Structure 1
Amino acid sequence: MSDLLFLAQRLPYPPTKGEKIRAFHELKYLAQWYDIHLGCLIDDPDDRQYIDALRPLCRDIHVAQINRRTARLACLTGLLTADALSVMYFRHRGLIDWVNNVVDTVRPAITFVYSSNMAPYVLDLPNTGKTVVDLVDVDSEKWRAFANATKSPMRPVYRREWRKIAELERRIARHCALSALVSDAEAALFARHNPDCAKTIRGVSNGVDYRYFDPASHYPPPYDTTRPNFVFTGTMDYPPNGDAAAWFAAEILPLIQASLPAAQFHVVGSNPSPEVRKLDQRAGVFVSGRVPDVRPYIAHATAGVAPMRIARGIQNKVLEAMAMARPVVLTAGALEGIAAVPMLEAILADTAADFAAACCRLAITTDGVAIGAAARRRIISNYDWDATLRGFDDILRPGMPPAEAVHRSAPVSHLQPVESSH
């Protein structure tokens, strides 16, 4: 087998949040044809227990641990240099040395980089082979949205980050054999920013494990199912998720409760920020924090909700709810990149009034049954991981059709997703 250097900003296991879900499935897919040298960072000490779970997929693994508080302070040095702050956060001397050694001694045929923040580890190195960067989203646009949405003292910092990340993205587009993004829409946006590199930019969609997110399984109800229950899942220290949860709790839920006083809103996901925790003080709002399994919350929901006002790429929370055959009410930003027919496979609503009306409709009619069933059919048809990741095949396995590839058994103890990040 040829060697492949795989770099990720966090250990791609367990697949419990958006960045880990996609990176894990890519790693598992590529391990069928390559000896993988995995380099990544850990900023959550709890993740160390999962390193051994990835060893069956990798020739070797180097994990560099960073302290979140120290890394945040260190990344501020970027204000004195030309670097983006988020790049500085993920810079680690030990990982730099390991990458240099792998490139010098192994000379990988392929270097696969997950996220723009990790690209500086290899952009200036020789002997990296064919380089593929999975940008996932056009990250610079997220920072631009943050800058436009805030009036706080952080606004100039966000604007600087927007410009610096955009510069890095341009370098990546010019340097790499392929720049991948999570949807055709994100790829088209990135190509508009980098028209001279359009031929090496493409969308490779996320998938979802619809066999795990199976509505036919039995799930004990985690809340009172005699009430209308609306569920939002995600990593709750991710600012766009916090904003979405706050908007639903403050502006949408009161409109629902005016017609359905018993309606409840469940915010399900790890690391709720202080602002998100305060939502728990509102009538009918429940902030769960980390849960062992997100499926019971989705399975018994009147609807999944994705009231994203700042959104990039594909929302895993939407795919998971659709896979569970639940109707989803979502904004246009949350629908972007997902091949769901509005009003038939998901309900589109961009104002608080429209969002509340859609939620009330699902609570008092049986419309959600047909919408949820259609949503699951869409997931099975369009979002199988092996099918979506074939979008890399012509670059990563030229001249080798999938049916002829040497298949490596991957006996990973598959700890399944329990939540999404975006």
Structure 2
Amino acid sequence: MKILIFSYYLPHNDIDQYTLRIHLKTLSQDNEIILVCGVRKGEEGLLEDTRKYCAKVYAVKLDLPNLSWRLKDISAAFLLRGTMNCLRFLPPAKLPWDRLLIMPLFFFFRKELSDRLKEAFQREKPDLVHFHKIITSAHREDIPRHVPSVFFDDDAISRLFYASMIAEKSFPAKAYYLIRYLGAKKWEKLILPSFKKVVILSENDRKWLTGINPFLSNVEPIHYVVDTELFKPAPVTEDFPSVIFFGTLSLSYNREAAEYFAGAILPLIRKEIPQLRFYIVGPDPSLKIRSLSKNPLNKVVSKVTGHAEDLRGHIAKSAVCIVPLNKTVGVKSRILIAMSMAKTVVATSAAAQGVEGLKDGENIIIADTPSLFAEKVVYLIRNREVNNGIGVKARELIIREYCSRRWKEQWETIYRSLIKT
């Protein structure tokens, strides 16, 4: 098959762009991949690495922003670009309010990429077009409707904004995420039916999207996988004793989880293990989270690293990975990546929901209260043999049920069904 994949970003090893990397790596084995993508300053080396998976790459050098959804994103430039792009490129909406709601999504629209996408389609004549992530859907009209098209995102974006709205404490932040939630919900309802197939990573997200639009019958959940060759146990000296939390910290529920662990669980652990180090890794940490590592008299967090180009070193050095989220959105990848590196994960039942094959005490540890969470972490730190054994079982599960071969099989089945239809 000849597949044209459209993405605003190059594939990275971080969580946000990880699925694109594994997609190119697996699908390029037996298919011809044409990639249209944006390239940011300093990514020339990454672009060359990406070319080995593609028959051809149509790259556009752009000053692309990071995918940050924090309150700081409301600026004159953000609103102006979103407004102009929305008015110029969006098909007529029923009400002016519709345009206002979905305007922020069009902040990312780039005419240069639009022109490059049309050029690649006309020259390459692909069997189908794959739109990767929600921001590419603004370019849906660049491809004729009769051409088989598939849209993929890790999560239902409106569901992420809704979870952030619930997690926020302040009224301005809640109002901001309410607007983003309503806009994303409106856009998903408007644009997703135009694709032949919408692919998502969980059954919960499928139910969410069909709840938004009951007539949306083209949504299919697929099984998440991990590149077990990339994320594998590393021969590094462990920073013992230590725990790590990693994730996109611009999302409210991730910040809430990190702050919850630092405030309610970590003090209980340090009563038993005073020297325990706690690391937070992820882009866009809030001022509150950064402040946890800056007070020399009360250094709650040992280090806040911010964005990490490669998570593997941070995960490999930690004794335990923690996922203390109280929401079921956007958490599968971090659990499975840590497990693939043979690390024991201590998570809440909400965070682990929907991950098949998990067995508490065998390949993961589940704890839903601060006292139990602290007790489990202390036990794992003090019993390294048990800790290592759970990590080994965790990796065995990933190799058995979440290997990249399964990703290839799922997608080729979807692609062939669309082309045949």
Q: Is the 8 A contact 1:41 1:90 kept in 2?
A: no
Alpha-carbon contact 1:17-1:235 (below 8 Å) kept: no
Q: How far apart are residue 115 of structure 1 and its match? A: 1.2
Q: Which residue of 2 aligns with 1:17?
A: 14
Partner of 1:97, secondary structure, is: helix
Alignment of 1:234-313 (within 5 A): 234-269=247-282, 272-280=285-293, 281=295, 282-283=298-299, 285-289=301-305, 294-313=311-330
Instruction: Find out whether 1:47 has 2:49 as its counterpart.
Output: no
| Aligned residue number for residue 91 of structure 2 | none
- Give runs of aligned pairs for residues 5-404 of structure 1, distance below 5 A: 5-12=4-11, 15-42=12-39, 44-56=40-52, 57-68=54-65, 73-77=76-80, 78=82, 81-82=99-100, 84-123=102-141, 125-126=143-144, 129-150=147-168, 151-198=170-217, 200-215=218-233, 217-221=234-238, 223=239, 225=240, 228-269=241-282, 272-280=285-293, 281=295, 282-283=298-299, 285-289=301-305, 294-339=311-356, 340-365=358-383, 366-398=385-417
| Letter paired with 1:54 | T
Indicate the residue corresponding to 1:418 in structure 2. none
2:118–2:142: 8 Å Cα contact kept in structure 1? no
Query: What is the TM-score with the length of structure 1 in the denominator?
Result: 0.82
User: Is the Cα contact below 8 Å between 1:142 and 1:312 reproduced in 2?
Assistant: yes
Aligned mates of 1:243, 1:373 — CA distance in 2: 30
Query: Could you tell me whether the CA contact under 8 Å between 1:140 and 1:162 is conserved in 2?
Result: yes
- Tell me: higher relative CO, structure 1 or 2? Use CA pairs within 8 A at least 6 residues apart: 1
Q: C-alpha deviations, 1:269-314, integer Å up to 9, x for none?
A: 4554433321213435222525675445434533110122445244
Q: Rate the CA distance shift 1:212–1:67 in 2: closer, same or farther, 3 A.
A: closer
The Cα of 1:242 is off from its aligned counterpart by: 3.0
Identity of aligned residues (%): 24
Equivalent pair of 1:187/1:201 in contact (CA under 8 Å): yes
Task: Write the distance in 2 (CA, Å) between the matches of 1:351 and 1:209.
Answer: 32
Any conservation in 1 of the 2:248–2:284 contact (CA below 8 Å)? Answer: yes
Aligned-residue offset at 1:330? 1.0
Q: CA RMSD in A?
A: 2.9
Structure 2 partner of 1:413: none
Question: What do residues 147-195 of structure 1 show as CA deviations (whole Å, max 9, x unaligned)?
Answer: 2222231322321221221122223432222111112333333334344
CA distance, structure 1, for counterparts of residue 317 and residue 118 of structure 2: 50
Aligned residues of 2:243 and 2:277 also touching (Cα < 8 A) = yes
Contact (CA 8 Å) 2:10, 2:38: kept in 1 or not? Answer: yes
Distance (whole Å) between structure 2 residues aligned to residue 106 and residue 212 of structure 1? 31
User: Quick check: 1:5–1:36 contact (8 Å CA) kept in 2?
Assistant: yes
- Counterpart residue identity of residue 9, structure 1: Y
* Separation in structure 2 between the aligned mates of residue 286 and residue 241 of structure 1, nearest angstrom: 18
Counterpart AA for 1:349: A
Q: In structure 1, how many angstroms separate the alpha carbons of the residues matched to 2:65 and 2:309?
A: 24
Q: CA deviation at 1:196?
A: 2.6
Amino acid in structure 2 at the alignment position of 1:320: I
Give the SS at the match of 1:46: coil
Letter in 1 for 2:379: R
- 8 Å CA contact 1:303–1:328 kept in 2: the answer is yes
Aligned partner letter, 2:171: S
Match of 1:416 in 2: none
Q: Are the structure 2 counterparts of residues 72 and 346 from structure 1 closer, same or farther at C-alpha, using a change threshold of 3 Å?
A: farther
More divergent stretch after superposition (247-256 vs 60-69)? 60-69
Between the aligned partners of 2:105 and 2:309, the Cα distance in structure 1 is: 31
Go from structure 1 to structure 2 and tell me whether the alpha carbon gap of 1:206 and 1:127 turns closer, same or farther (over 3 Å shift).
same
- Match for 2:193: what amino acid? R
Q: Which runs of 5+ in 2 are unaligned?
A: 67-72, 84-95
Task: Tell me by how many angstroms 1:394 deviates.
Answer: 2.2
Equivalent residue letter for 2:267 = P
**TM-score, normalisation: structure 2:** 0.82
Distance 1:294 1:148, change over 3 A: closer
CA distance in 2, matches of 1:300, 1:313: 24
- Unmatched tracts of structure 1, length 5 or more: 401-422
1:395, distance to aligned residue in structure 2 (A): 2.5
Residues 133 and 71 from structure 1, CA distance in 2 versus in 1: closer, same or farther, beyond 3 angstroms?
farther
* 1-structure distance, mates of 2:372, 2:331: 22
With over 3 angstroms needed to count, the CA separation of the structure-2 counterparts of 1:218 and 1:169, relative to structure 1, is same
Say which is worse superposed, 64-73 or 182-191, in terms of deviation: 64-73
Q: Residue type of the partner of 1:6?
A: I
Q: Distance in 1 between matches of 2:232 and 2:120?
A: 41
Distance 2:309 2:136 in 1: 30
Rounded to whole Å, the distance in 2 between the matches of 1:210 and 1:28 is 12
Question: How far 1:233 sits from its partner (Å)?
Answer: 2.5
- The number of residue pairs the alignment matches comes to 390
Distance 1:271 1:61, change over 3 A: same
Deviations 1:50-88 (A, max 9, x none): 212222314232224135399964432447834525422
Quick one: structure 1 residues 154 and 85, their matched pair in 2 at CA, closer, same or farther if it must change by over 3 Å? farther
Question: C-alpha displacement at 1:127, in angstroms?
Answer: 5.3
